[in-house]
């Protein structure tokens, strides 16, 4: 990997769970909403179930097995069922809408994100490829101060395909005029980010921010500070 740095021209980042600290910002969003509506649930208990349920539904969403609306509703409904809180469909929809409206207002990034981007920006062209929702992702990027670092931002909604579908990577490479062998993908998902990029001939680094199983497909790092040492 150290020898690779002289060959690279473009680095593509995932956003959620890679630069933008999804779990922290999501926690704060639910804390704000539950407090505002005085929801009688234990936040820690709710979050302990919500995070894995959300991951599972996102997998179904990127595999086109559920719609965006089903993702937003079912992840909450299932979590309330797990913690034995009875919520009507209207209540779930209300919380879902409030969640989407407030989530991007929280700007927390993973530790080391800005120093890493400052270091890379002077050497490479930087871009984002994300499966997140178009409007929400752009707000996240703006509100967390990431906008000035990236030349292109590709969302699944904009392109019409979700990672790991080949077309979203092909579109990103074509639009940026980057060669795959001189491009690097950095992301948290082995399936969506790493295998998707490698299949297109790109290099990849797995930022294993939520403890996926170890593998031999590429370099794995556990923090952005560790990642920075390779450049």
pTM for the full model?
0.90
Give the model confidence (pLDDT) of 25-63 as tens digits: 999 999 999 999 999 999 999 999 999 999 999 999 989
DSSP string, 197-210: HHTTT-EEEEE-TT
Q: Higher pLDDT residue, 92 or 2?
A: 92
Write down the CATH superfamily of domain 23-103: Putative phosphatase; domain 2 (1.10.150.240)
CATH architecture under which domain 2-21+109-228 falls: 3-Layer(aba) Sandwich (3.40)
How far apart CA 84 and CA 10 sit, in angstroms, is 48
Instruction: For residue 211, report the phi and psi dihedrals to the nearest 5 degrees.
Output: 50, 55
Task: Give domain limits for the chain.
Answer: 2-21+109-228, 23-103
Whether the pLDDT of residue 1 is over 50: the answer is no
Give the model confidence (pLDDT) of 192-206 as tens digits: 999 999 999 999 999
Give the model confidence (pLDDT) of 126-182 as tens digits: 999 999 888 899 999 999 999 999 999 999 999 999 999 999 999 999 999 999 999
Q: What are the b/e assignments for 163-182, b being 16+ CB within 10 Å? A: bbbeebbebbbeebebebee
């Amino acid at each position: 990997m150290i020898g690779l740095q002289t060959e690279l021209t473009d680095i593509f980042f995932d956003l959620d769970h890679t630069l933008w600290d999804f779990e922290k910002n999501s926690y704060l969003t639910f804390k704000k909403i539950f407090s505002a509506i005085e929801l009688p649930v234990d936040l820690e208990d709710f979050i302990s179930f919500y995070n894995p349920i959300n991951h599972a539904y996102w997998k179904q969403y990127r595999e086109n097995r559920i719609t965006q609306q089903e993702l937003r509703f079912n992840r909450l409904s299932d979590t309330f069922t797990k913690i034995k809180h009875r919520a009507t469909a209207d209540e779930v929809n209300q919380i879902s809408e409030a969640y989407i409206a407030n989530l991007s207002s929280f700007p927390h990034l993973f530790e080391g994100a800005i120093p890493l981007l400052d270091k890379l920006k002077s050497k490479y062209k930087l871009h984002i490829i994300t499966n997140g929702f178009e409007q929400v992702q752009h707000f996240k990027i703006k509100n967390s101060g990431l906008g000035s670092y990236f030349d292109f931002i590709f969302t699944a909604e904009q392109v019409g395909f979700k990672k790991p579908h080949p077309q979203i990577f092909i579109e990103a490479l074509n639009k940026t005029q980057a060669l795959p062998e001189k491009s690097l993908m950095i992301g948290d998902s082995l399936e969506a980010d790493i295998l998707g990029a490698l299949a297109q001939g790109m290099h990849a680094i797995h930022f294993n921010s939520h403890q996926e199983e170890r593998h031999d497909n590429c370099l794995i790092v556990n923090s952005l500070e560790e990642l920075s040492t390779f450049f």
